[in-house]
Structure 1
Amino acid sequence: MNTVGLIVEYNPLHNGHAYHFREAKRLANADTAVAVMSGDFLQRGEPAIVNKWARTEMALHLGIDLVLELPVSYAVRPAEWFAHGAAALLDATGVVSHLCFGSESGELPVLGELAALLASESGALKAAVAEELATGASYPRAYAAAAARAFAAAGGLGGDVDAARLLLEQPNNSLGLHYLIALRRLKSGITPLTLQRQGAGYRDESPRDASIASATAVRRLISGGGSLAAAAAYLPPFTLEILQREFAAGRGPLDWDRFSQPLFSRLLSATPEELVGHPEMNEGLEHRIHKILPKLEQATVTELIEQLKTKRYTHTKLQRTLMHTLLGHTRPMGSREVLSAGPHYLRVLGFNERGRQLLKKMKKTAKRPIITRAADLSHPQLDADIRASAVYANAMPERTGVDWFRDYRQPPIKL
């Protein structure tokens, strides 16, 4: 029996995700599907539109059989560590046979060749990345440029550096490449598959298709229209119903500006020396923040990021750095030594009957403890997840103590 693994955020789950799910099961000839899903905060340093429990419901209604939470220690990270944490979780289940990810190219052989070249992180590659960073490029662009040079020099894509760079600068190709690198470093037996992205680009801010739009475009339609009606054509009925319920209950929608007050409290009370203790707070960003704060006309995260942005400090990097600051993450949490060890547990957010059978099987195959209650384990990664969920709940339109500590009360969602 094949089980396909998916790495998702579902922010929110839309028609493009439904297409990916169906095709992933078909390509893997899979009977069951396991999703590793980010919790309340996401890879680009953003809060999810609704909480992880609501998005777990969406996943189960779609047909996902088992939903596992990607610890926030990995969820709010650059592609390398996001991919490593998620792939390590799938590998640790002992039941996942395939990993299917979306990509702009849809070409697994080329991405596989790149992964084989880059997995070892040679000294030459590190030196090339440093050269690109010295030009003022952001790290993602510096890495893409250095990797493209290395791939072309090795004869990849006929030695065409520009073609290699274009391939690597596309976000889903880049993330997929890191999934492949992670599987190699883990020496995992999981078979990778890729599916060409359809209908909408990852960063598209407006729909280009009658029924498929990016999650970014869907969120913009929701926030711009003031209601869900504008986005309804791009969402499965169950997503629409869950969002309507969560919004009506005052548990959403959430965006960065709902976190302005706690974030600014941290920024204003911390010295630059204290700020630099957070992950990704480097290259003098801590001093730039203190220089910009007195100049803000509006105390919103949106304006702060706009004022901080430079060629080096990209929008995504700034969001992630500010998120680490908001959540109180420390540099030791994000060290290579800690992150390379992978997540230390398998946190179950939800399952259906087939998922229950998978969990039963995992009791014999899993390489990490399986957690169904937050009180089942004491570990710094899980503690960070619980604190993050409390911070998220505190920003809801209707705040309650029940939501602050829902992680302790909420059993896995069962469908």
Structure 2
Amino acid sequence: MKTVGIIVEYNPLHNGHVYHFQQSKIVSEADAVVAVMSGSFLQRGEPALVSKWARTEMALRMGADLVIELPVAYSTQPAEWFAYGAVSALEATGVVDAFCFGSESGDMELLQAAAKRLHMEDRAKVAVDPSAPEPGDAETSGFRDTIRARLKSGASYPSAYAAAAGSLLGEGDGEWLAQPNNTLGLHYLLALERLQGSMRPYTISRQKAGYNQTDISDERIASATALRKLLADDTTAFAIRPFVPAYTLDILQREMAAGRAPVNWESFFRTLLVRLAVTGVSELAELGEVTEGLEHRIKRSLAAVHPDKGGPFEQLMHALKTRRYTRTKLQRMMTRILLNHRKEELSPELLRSGVPYLRVLGFSPTGQQLLKTMKKTAGVPVVTKAASHKHPFLELDIQAAAVHASAYRTPSQTDLFRDYYEAPLRLGEREAEED
């Protein structure tokens, strides 16, 4: 059985995702699809709109055969560690022959050439923290010097990295590398090189709506960012109906009616504010993504937040944001603070080992066959019951799910500790046929 892997967040799953899913199967000639999906908190440092179980259900009803959770240790990281964790998960299954990702360029030859060159010659630091080593084994001082010079001039890290890579590749300022999906695609391919993986990569051009595009310019395709914006002002979810499959709308309406959605940063602000208020400056400095003295800026910025001005989290972001620090960087930092993730728990040495387990969130009948095969082929333990496996990263996943559930209207104990109670979601053949 030929199997293709995809790396997803589905926040929420929309028609563009369906197109990518279908094209991934076509270009790879795959019989089955394994999705590695972020859990409760996502790569741009945002809480998921709905729970990982609701998003797993969306994926299975679309046709995915096996959904595996990307640990929160990787899911809220900058591009290179996010990609490294996700690709390592697909490789660790031992059943995935290929993987397919979306990109603005749609040019696999260009992306692969860039990845191979960077792997051979730069292996430079590609994390947001300039002092932390990246997944490779060596560094090129010239590449790092270019990044540092750009950072000192006030550039954001993504811009500085794109410029350094473009210079190394002889492509000027590397503007195409700064496009979000091209960036992720490049890092997926770099991860494949570093892991010496056997999967064959494919890419699909992103269609009609750009990543993080807030406006809607097509009748059926809109970005997840634009859809979340619509949902923020629509308690019925009907506004997104033209842009999502019927099952996505059904699941969202069910979760909203139950008080489990939509979850956003404002949902956590009271908890975050208390944590920021009681955590000392030196303690803040020990948390992930709190770099370059940002702990002092955070404390100073709290005075700029006024409860009578609405949107307190947005006020805090506005007070913290500079040309140097992107919103994504700041949101990831706030995620680490909210979840109390210390730097030592997420060290490059720990991350470089790749995912230490494969947490199964759901499967189809075909996915069940893949799981049977994975018992023999997987390079790490396959976890179907969280309570039966121990690992520090898994503890972080369980804690993250509990914090996420605390934003529900009336969270129950079962909501908070659902990881202990919930078996992988099984999609029957009849349900798949109906969809």
Q: TM-score, normalised by structure 1?
A: 0.96
**Displacement after TM superposition at 1:62 (Å):** 0.4
Where does residue 76 of structure 1 map in the other structure? Answer: 76
**Aligned residue identity for 1:150:** L
Number of equivalent positions: 406
The Cα offsets for residues 370-391 of structure 1, whole Å up to 9 and x where unpaired, read as 0000112111000000000000
- In structure 2, C-alpha distance between the alignment counterparts of 1:334 and 1:144, rounded to whole Å: 25
Q: CA deviation at 1:138?
A: 1.6
CA–CA separation in structure 2 for the residues paired with 1:131 and 1:359: 48
Q: Which residue of 2 aligns with 1:150?
A: 168
For 1:124 and 1:397, how far apart are their aligned partners in 2? 52
Structure 2 letter corresponding to 1:104: E
CA pair 55-134 structure 1, distance change in 2 beyond 3 A: same
* TM-fit CA distance, 1:18: 0.3
Cα deviation, 1:31-79, whole Å, max 9, x if unaligned, reads 0000000001000000111000000000000000000000000001000
Q: 2:374 aligned with 1:365, yes or no? A: no
Q: Which residue of 2 aligns with 1:126?
A: 144
Query: In structure 1, what is the equivalent of residue 154 of structure 2?
Result: 136
Task: Write the distance in 2 (CA, Å) between the matches of 1:68 and 1:295.
Answer: 41
Percent identity of equivalent pairs: 51
Three-state SS of the structure 2 residue aligned to 1:4 is strand
Query: Separation in 2 of the partners of 1:127 and 1:363?
Result: 46
**1:397 match:** 409
2:207 is matched with 198
Q: Which residue of 2 aligns with 1:157?
A: none
Matches of 2:151 and 2:346, distance apart in 1 = 21
| Cα distance, 1:334 vs structure 2 | 2.0
Amino acid at match of 1:372: T
2:235·2:256 contact (CA, 8 Å) conserved in 1? no
Residues 304, 315 of structure 2: 8 Å contact kept: no
2:337 equivalent to 1:325: yes
| 1:5-404 → structure 2 map (5 Å cutoff) | 5-119=5-119, 120-121=123-124, 122-152=140-170, 160-162=171-173, 165-298=174-307, 300-404=312-416
In the alignment, the residues of structure 2 paired with residue 105 and residue 208 of structure 1 have an alpha-carbon distance, to the nearest angstrom, of 20
Give the match for residue 155 of structure 1.
Answer: none
Report the Cα distance in structure 2 between the residues aligned to 1:53 and 1:359, rounded to whole angstroms: 18
Gaps of 5+ in 2: 125-139, 428-435
CA contact (8 A) 2:215 2:226 kept: yes
Distance 2:390 2:342 in 1: 18
Deviation at 1:295, TM superposition (A): 2.4
The aligned amino acid for 1:8 is V
| Equivalence for 2:432 | none
Distance (Å, rounded) in 2 between the aligned partners of 1:226 and 1:94: 43
Contact 2:339 2:399 in 1 (8 A): yes
Take 2:329 and 2:296, find their aligned partners in 1: how far apart are those partners? Answer: 16
Deviates more, 1:400-409 or 1:131-140: 131-140
The answer as to whether partners of 2:100 and 2:202 remain within 8 angstroms in 1 is yes
The amino acid of 1:125's aligned partner reads: F
Tell me which of 418, 427, 432 is aligned to 1:406.
418
Letter in 1 for 2:407: A
Which amino acid is 1:100 matched to? C
Distance in 2 between residues matched to 1:355 and 1:197, nearest whole Å: 27
- 2:233 is paired with a residue whose SS is helix
> RMSD across aligned C-alpha pairs, in angstroms?
1.0
Q: TM-score, normalised by structure 2?
A: 0.92
Partners of 2:52 and 2:183 in 1: CA distance? 25
Structure 2 CA distance, aligned partners of 1:375 and 1:297?
42
Deviation, structure 1 residue 124 = 2.1
Distance 1:126 1:117 in 2: 15
